[in-house]
Amino acid sequence: MNSQIDRIVDLSRIRFGTSSFSSKDWVGPFYKPGTSASDFLRQYSNELDTVEIDSTYYSIPSEDAVKGWIEKIPEKFVLSAKLQSRSSEQCHQVIVAEQKESEKGLHVA
């Protein structure tokens, strides 16, 4: 590695991901042919280490949905919830769901 860059940026803190994992168009180019939608996140998390969950922008996910995501990702993987301008109570619901379920990274941004 370039030692000059290492002094400026802690490279271990950089994560790579996308703004979604659910595009069916990715079957073939990114996901293995024949991958079902229910396996997208599991396969995605084997290649990248973070993803923004777009569906959280439109509604607060159920606790079961959050549990389902967490079951499919490795421990160090980061789920980033995309939120609209919402009441603090709605944001609190997302945070509580994450705290109840796991130490895995659901990042509310």
- Are 81 and 56 within 8 A, CB to CB? yes
Q: Is the residue at 3 inside a domain?
A: no
Q: Is the residue at 82 inside a domain?
A: yes
User: Which domain covers residue 74, as residue numbers?
Assistant: 16-108
How many C-beta neighbours within 10 Å does residue 56 have? Answer: 21
Higher pLDDT pick, 59 / 11: 59
Q: How confident is the model over 86-105, as pLDDT tens digits?
A: 555 666 666 666 555 555 55
Q: Is residue 71 pLDDT above 70, yes or no?
A: yes
Phi-psi sector, 87: left (phi>0), alpha (psi -120 to 50), beta: beta
- Report, as an integer, the average pLDDT of 68-84: 89
Q: Is the residue at 87 inside a domain?
A: yes
State phi, psi for 38 to the nearest 5 degrees. Answer: -70, -15
Q: Is the residue at 9 inside a domain?
A: no
Q: Is the residue at 7 inside a domain?
A: no
Q: For the chain, how many structural domains are there in total?
A: 1
pTM of the model: 0.69
Q: How confident is the model over 44-66, as pLDDT tens digits?
A: 999 999 999 888 888 888 889 98
Q: Is the residue at 4 inside a domain?
A: no
Q: How confident is the model over 24-45, as pLDDT tens digits?
A: 999 999 999 999 999 999 999 9
Q: Is the residue at 31 inside a domain?
A: yes
